[in-house]
Chains A and B, each alone.
Chain A
Amino acid sequence: MRGIRPRHKVVQADWGAYLGDRAARARSSAVRDFFATPAPAAETPIDEVPMVALDMETTGLDERRHAIVSVGMVPFTLGRITPARRRYWVVKPSRPLSGTSIAYHHITHSEIAGAPDFDSVIDELLPLLAGRIVVVHFRNIERPFLDAAVRVRRGEGVLFPMIDTMSIEARRYRQSLWARFRRWLGRPPVSIRLNASRARYGLPAYQGHHALVDALATAELLQAQVASHYHPQTPLGALWC
């Protein structure tokens, strides 16, 4: 389900300037505080960057029609993942839960019935992301859903640089010379979904579709990708998007 075509045009934006501009113009306190915390600069070596793996389970793939059901995050660096500092929220979706999405991520109506609205999560979540680089697998879920959910509740959205482990896989296995050669041979494209990507690095298969487990799985994948393809001194700007 995550293999759909990205709707947002990927631009290698000048994130530094964008973030400074947002910090100056933000109106709501949560958003202002988030942008006021300086994010690691583009030239910071990746092994010095504080990161946080983020995963959201949603009722569907379109942030205009679907809603967030759960959010999991695990802080980490290249040296260590710290599951002890994990956070996890189940939220009541603003739109009704369909039967198929229940089957998909195992969150039931009763769990959601007692859950808070995403609004109360914003004030906890944004400070935990501030000053860190968010790492996701397939940014076209987390980025638009988070932006839309904050925009609806606080009048302005949150966009910021992310490292996308799926995009790193795509660069290597979809756009590289090797990948084109494979295509030329008529071989099917390599899967860049989370578990398939992990398997290429010898990482164990996890029971997927729990936001917390997927966040941990994403953090491990980034460690493996950097260990395999990048020097630890690689500047952050070469990896984020």
Chain B
Amino acid sequence: MDADIMELRQHMSQFPPFNALSDALLDEVAGQVEVRYFKAGSDVLRLNEEARELCYIRSGAVEVYRRQGDLHNCLGEGDIFGHFNLLRDHKVRFPARAIEDTLIYFISDAMFIQLCEQDEHFADFVELERPRLETAARDQRQSNDMMITRIRRLLSRAPVMVDVDISVQDAALRMSDDQASALLVTRECSAQDARRFRDDQGRHRRIHGIMTNSDFRTRIVGRGLSAQTPVGEVISPALLSVQADVSIYEAMLTMLRNNVHHLPVLYRQRPMGIVHLSDIIRYETHSGLYLVSNIFSRLSVEGLARLAPDVRAAFSRMVQEGANSQMVGSALSTIGRSFVRRLCELAEESLGPPPVSYAFMVNGSMARNEQSIVTDQDNALVLDDTFDPAQHDDYFRRLAVFVTDGLDACGYTYCKGDIMATNPRWRQPLRVWKGYFRDWMTHPTPETLLHSSIFFDLDSAFGEAGLVEQLQDLVAGQAPHSPRFLAAMARNALNRTPPLGFFRTFVMEKDGKHNNSINLKRRGTAPMVDVIRIHALACGSKAQNTFERLDAIHQTRVLGSGVSDKLRYAFEFLCMSRLRHQAIDIEKNRTPDNNIEPENVESSERHTLKDAFQVLSNAQKFLKFRYPQPSANPSSSGHRERS
């Protein structure tokens, strides 16, 4: 027992950012806090009073407000507040009130500054949204580089080991008994041998070499050696091996460089197993690349549909191995487009060649290269202008039915909004499509705005790509000069807002309501895509992918400096969070969806998600200012567009 109050320290050590502090720094903070009790309903920080401390909630709950009185945040045990006041001008800008009986630990301004100076992680945590998001996104990238699957994952059993002195005949029998294609040959060694390991009996041994199936052919039978020859005389003492923690890729390189098919895998000097080239190939067959080539070799819709579980497996593995959202999104989109292409090919095989050229257009997430595992189909047919409905539509209707039915069978469910090539409205020649697009941008209505947000993410998956490219050009050319359209899209983009964040097991809404779960697509990634699409349309970008759109936006300086980076980090984090929760669903044999439940969100993820929501919320507010409703006078609206 000593003179420290362990209660204080222990509690703080469980919550970020204090959980990452060094022991010495944590001791110092915990030793200096001041404490005060606040009855439910009483003010903790009042607007405009002097701010000299950071507040830590030991127990209870606190609501933080904006100056205008809007709820800003709702915080519980282990959360901090008041740091924005300290980082600015030491005046309370965000007043706080206890909503339950609450015990607050106060951390002095001087201590706060010391923490920011001495602990980078702490500084990142308390600064406004960007740095924390940036750190989270950067960590994701780093772990992505490091989290390469290690070779030990491919080992299914311990190696079969024999002594150098046994005969090749006995060795052959051992291999047959154990159904092994290779043996590790070991011999006794001294206790000082650098390559020694202890066998099951505790004796010092070392690896002498490896004996494989092919050695019997080349080294024994081929040379006419007796079955009684000791294995030690047959094999060459080769010390080629890899450590259990090298990547699969590295192990594969080692095999290729040395032209071997078997490789002993060691943990320090202890043999853990033997990996064969076929193990690696089998592993690789679950990857996206293998899937794509497999899609093109299928001869029927049924054959394609049987690949659906492989798509899920490939998705889970990518997320587990730390792929970022762009990698996962583009891999799944590539797979999705491959299904479309193969289905179009199969349709043409059964229906005959098309009467006029066409493009099978994909829209929405597949066009943006941002597909996740939970997705429906959005597609359409863009036909050559020589299209004659009376003569040709029957062919394209049947093609559309074939492809959309096939996609549904492969796990890409029918679009509930009927945005599919089977809908006659979305199976039209290019000139009709151009008419649609022009009309949508000149006379936006609630219905056409919805269409714009789906069809203005567009790409060709099969056929005459030029037809879709012309539409892309049209949008990029006309949208920047359509202020009414942009303003209407901007207003529309505010329909789906993010929540405030999480509070205990609830999702906190801005109006103070609680919800049990949150649809991360509807409340996070989709509104973010909407916001970024409008900026991209305004600057005439032809990019479809959200990250590429951000690059284009960044170059035109539509947004303030640093804003596009903020959006990028926030979007990446929202996407990854959604993908991770879907991967967890798959792992636990649940149907993956877009919902996440607060109890499944870790503390650090909560904080970063909250920041991402904040970035989104600010970006939505900015839209209203950036794309105002033009006045009825066309000349003044043109002027505003130029300014």
Contacts and interface: CB of A to CB of B under 8 A. Distances in A.
Nearest to B10: A207
A83 B36 contact: no
A88 to B, nearest CB: 4
Nearest to B61: A202
Given A203-B103, A223-B37, A111 B32 contact: no
Contacts of A204: 58-59, 103
B434 interface: no
Contact of A212 (B3, B40, B58): B3
Interface-centre pick from A80, A86, A204 (highest chain B CB count, 10 A): A204
A51 to B, nearest CB: 13
Nearest to A72: B3
A207 B35 contact: no
Interface in A60-84: 70, 76, 79-84
B103 to A, nearest CB: 6
A107 B103 contact: no
A82 B103 contact: no
Chain A at the B interface: SS class:
mixed
Given A204-B58, A212-B5, A213-B5, A83 B34 contact: yes
B7 interface: yes
Given A80-B36, A80-B106, A220-B37, A86 B60 contact: no
Given A83-B8, A213-B7, A227 B35 contact: no
A76 B7 CA distance: 18
A79 to B, nearest CB: 6
A151 interface: no
A201 B35 CA distance: 15
Interface string A200-219: 01111011001011001001
Contacts of A82: 34
Contacts of A183: none
Interface residues of B, number: 26
A83 B5 contact: yes
Nearest to A77: B36
A197 to B, nearest CB: 13
A203 B106 CA distance: 16
B59 A202 contact: yes
B33 interface: yes
Given A83-B33, A202-B59, A216 B5 contact: yes
Interface in B29-44: 31-40, 42
B608 interface: no
Contact of A201 (B5, B33, B101): B101
Contacts of B103: 202-204, 220
Contact of A79 (B6, B36, B102): B36
Nearest to B102: A202
Nearest to B38: A227
A180 interface: no
Contacts of B40: 202
B491 to A, nearest CB: 44
A223 B1 contact: no
Contacts of A223: 36-37
A170 interface: no
Contacts of B5: 83, 86, 212-213, 216
Nearest to B36: A80
Contacts of A109: none
B100 interface: yes
A168 to B, nearest CB: 14
A76 B36 CA distance: 10
B39 A224 contact: yes
B32 A84 contact: yes
Contacts of A88: 2-3
Contacts of B37: 201, 203, 220, 223-224, 227
A81 B34 contact: yes
B144 to A, nearest CB: 40
Given A204-B103, A212-B5, A228 B35 contact: no
A86 B101 CA distance: 25
A54 B368 CA distance: 67
A82 B31 CA distance: 10
B393 to A, nearest CB: 71
A204 B32 CA distance: 20
Interface string B1-21: 111011110000000000000
A136 interface: no
A108 to B, nearest CB: 9
Contacts of B8: 83
Nearest to A211: B1
Interface in A95-141: 106-107, 111
Interface in B620-641: none
A83 B1 contact: no
Contacts of B34: 80-84
A118 B8 CA distance: 28
A202 B7 contact: no
Contacts of B3: 86-88, 212
A90 interface: yes
Given A203-B103, A212-B3, A84 B35 contact: no
Contacts of A81: 34-36
B35 A206 contact: no
Interface string B86-115: 000000000000001111001000000000
Nearest to A87: B3
Contacts of A210: 1
Given A81-B36, A88-B2, 8 more contacts: A70-B1, A81-B34, A106-B1, A202-B103, A210-B1, A213-B5, A216-B7, A227-B42
Interface of A: 70, 76, 79-84, 86-88, 90, 106-107, 111, 201-204, 206-207, 210, 212-213, 216, 219-220, 223-224, 227-228
Q: Please give me the 8 A-B residue pairs with the lowest Cβ-Cβ distance, nearest first.
A: A202-B101, A81-B35, A223-B37, A88-B3, A227-B39, A204-B59, A224-B37, A80-B34
18 contacts: A79-B36, A80-B34, A81-B35, A87-B3, A107-B1, A201-B37, A201-B101, A202-B59, A202-B101, A204-B58, A206-B7, A210-B1, A212-B5, A213-B6, A213-B7, A216-B5, A223-B37, A224-B39
